[in-house]
Structure 1
Amino acid sequence: MIRSRTRWNRAVRAATGAGLALALIAGCGGTTKDSASEDTGNSGGTEKVADPNAPIKENLKVAFLPKEIDNPYENIVDEGGISAIEELKGTAKEVGPSDASASSQVSYINTLIQQNQDAIVIAANDPNAVAPALKEAMAKGIAVVSYDSDAAPDARQVFVNQANSEDIGRSQIKLISEQIGGKGKIAILSATPNATNQNTWIEFMKDELTKPEYSGIELVTVAYGDDDDQKSFQETQALLQSIPDLKGIVSPTTVGISAAARYISSSPYKGKVALTGLGTPNQMRQFIKDGTVKEFALWDPTQLGYLAGYAAAALASGQITGAEGEVLKAGELGERTIGKDGEIILGPPTTFNADNIDDYDF
């Protein structure tokens, strides 16, 4: 499926309130189309040198490949990225499968290679399964940027991360602990079992739970809704029915948290089982107002995409290679310096509740 996008509002939302950065995790490989004869670290050749003063390539063609085409959160991210490319006088599109599977993404990557795109921006369903196709893209001079859920480091040049992974994971435990009084059984409702971002956050959640202040909380299980609304709804139902004394659910996925909230809101568990995680204000507003959910968190996905778009353009134009210390010029978001392992942090996320949710519209 291919979804064309109109120009997204490029203004940085002042209401977001979260200090934004982008995370760029550098791979060592790939070439840009203007320097296809230069090898990079992936191929063992001469290391490519960035030219921060190089002009943005004319008539850039950039494709955004989400986990699945109907994921509302990633649609917003891609809108932001498309707006960045249009701001730079290029053309961009969102393409993707109707299911959140790596094999489906691979077929799209192959098509984008044939279309001779300047850059591919991908949220990987499986970091390793998509790697061979992405490596082929880089070998043909296509810049590869991953966002939200990373690809294998040697299969992309830059990773645009939404926030510090450790902060996200640990903050989720803090939120659920506050809502259940620091005591009781909890479960995690994740996306797909191989999602890089989800698994990283969950590891930090588990580590946070080893701290003495959380000794009264027991993580019973991790369930997977596969970033599918109906399956996430069913997994929530199964969790609550199989664990009758469950006190809380953490769902660090926008699809999962909204599906879980929908089930709980019309069930006997409303007001008895706490739910938190990562969601968009527009998805979660009704559940905050009806008391199903007290608090949840997220960053501004439009700005995440905007940063990813600028990273793709800078890579394709030779302004950056993804090396530590390079500076990305990110349009209205200013400059961002690439840190250790290429990472620049986007977060921290904003916490949404009844007091502030109406201040946001995304």
Structure 2
Amino acid sequence: MAYPKISIIWLNHNSMKILPLVLQSLESIASIDYPSDRYELIVVDNGSTDGSFEKIKEFLERKSNLRRKIIKLDYNLGFTGGNNIGFIARDRESKYVLLLNNDAVLFQEGLRVLVEYAENYSGIAGLQGVVLKYGSRLIDTAGDYVDELLLTHPLGNNQVYPWTLRKPIYVTYADGCCSLYRVESLLKCTGGKLFINEFFGYGDDNVLGLMLWSCGCRLIAIPEVIASHARGLTFGRGKSTISTYLGERNRVALTQITNTRYKQVVLLHALRNLITLFLPRTGFSSLAKTKARVVVDGVRLGRRLKNQGVFLDIYKAPLVKITLRDLPVFFTARRIVKKYFENWAYKNLNLLTIED
């Protein structure tokens, strides 16, 4: 195989608490089975103030054979803005960009395997492989899907690898923790950037997937394992206040720029999630303020993007469609929703599979 040039975009923000994992992530990039003159690492530090940037820079200075660019931002632009800066800084000869979280470890053959599939499936815009939970044989994600309520669902989550997936499948989006994208497709479909800056986080890889499908491109997941990921360490384990706010605000914003038939139901579902997550922590007064802020901020953001001409036809993507009869399921416990998605995936996996 001729080795196309790759730009690896890697973000950091105040990661001192997980520094050993962060350095392991960087070490995995330096050790991949790919010609050293055919890939570069672009480190974007999102305004760190805890000393982690200095440790990372010191670590990279010892990797003399690793082509790298290090960008230190004055403040945090989020996952969206930081990756967009990295994309702008890419080598103009790079055919692909790889996104890798700083809490994800790339396996030695991971990049080469992704590139081989991308070269063999020339009609795709992006892809991911199987990502395991860090330190485990359990699957973190084997591909990701969006439903009509604009919720996201990782395929194969908590299943033991190897799993039932044997061939590449179409997915709504490739998970941002470790995914490869064709630069040509990004330039064609996203206005020369990866993400919508204003979403900050929790409105990035899923939105990018919808943008690419809406533009006529396709995304796939492959059955090979390529990385491991300690999900949740960037914003903290569990549902933090900031991650909940961003996730629900951005989902409300998406109702303004997509054609989902359940726009009003999405708003109700977002409010239900806020009640479930915030009421036990903050009480009624703070909950009311948070609900109002999420809805108002989300609608304003969505309308602003709509006025800029952003529109995503979600029905061009592989989508988890929800019947009216099944809508109440999504207002129950997460484990029940997870089971609903697993049943959907089991029934539809053959339809999503790419035949040789």
TM-score normalised to structure 1 length: 0.26
